[in-house]
Amino acid sequence: MFSCSFVVVSIVLTLKFVATTSPKLDPKFTAGEDEDFPQENYQLNSIVPLVKCPAGTFRGSLEYTRGGRRYFSFQSIPYAEAPGRFETATPKAPIKGIYDATTQPPICPQIPEGETEYSGQEDCLYLSVSKPEESHCREELSNGKLLPVMFWIHPGSFLNRNGSFYKGTYLLDECVVLVTFEYRLGALEILTNQKASQWASKLSQSSHIPYNLR
């Protein structure tokens, strides 16, 4: 059975998301039964793509790569509470109920390349996870091995673009778990208020934060 866990750290924002599956899909995508993850409190319905973890329960979707490989996609997972303008973001509280993780996340406010008008929304701190269907990666998953995780930080000079620029459609012909995320851009990224500045100063002095991340 496949298992993956990763920790997303973006300055002061942290979320741990764990997903696993033992797919038994057929062309008609008929309903199936939940299968328990070997670690307590984690399980994934292998037909619906329904992940259950401490962060909440997320309904994903089954998609296909350009090469015809099946993969599971979980999009628009909030990793922080909706931030106030120029304020330090805080980790997202566990989500109650079933969260629809089948839609593409909103982009953060920006002027897209080749355009002159702003687009996007300030509530944009979301991440997306895609993983290949197990049958495509039997050798890579043999003997309890885990798949490598590709954590994609989208380009754009901190001014534009978004985490959906590259998707599993293009990258999951290989046996990797893909994680993409949205982060604040432009003035909303670099400007701050006095309270947030004091908090950041305190954080930079913490011995628990690696020097290169302060």
73 pLDDT exceeds 50?
yes
Burial 13-48 (b: 16+ CB within 10 A, else e): bebebbbbbebebeeeeeeeeebebeeeebbbbbbb
Residue located via tokens 């973006």: 10
Beta strand extents in the chain (DSSP E only) = 4-10, 13-19, 34-36, 43-45, 50-53, 56-59, 61-64, 70-78, 98-100, 126-132, 149-152, 177-181
**Helix locations, the chain, DSSP H:** 168-171, 187-190, 194-204
DSSP secondary structure of 73-97: EEEEEE-BPPPPTTSPP-BPPPPPS
Model pLDDT, residue 41: 43
Confidence grade of residue 30 (pLDDT, cut at 50, 70, 90): very low
Higher pLDDT, 8 or 165: 165
Strand partners, 126: 78
Dump pLDDT digits (tens) for 151-175.
888 877 877 788 887 778 888 999 9
Please give the Cα distance from 73 to 179 (Å, whole number): 10
What are the residue boundaries of the structural domains of the chain, listed by start?
4-213
Higher pLDDT, 17 or 132: 132
For residues 32-58, give the mean pLDDT: 61
127 pLDDT exceeds 50?
yes
Phi, psi angle pair for 142, to nearest 5°: -70, 150
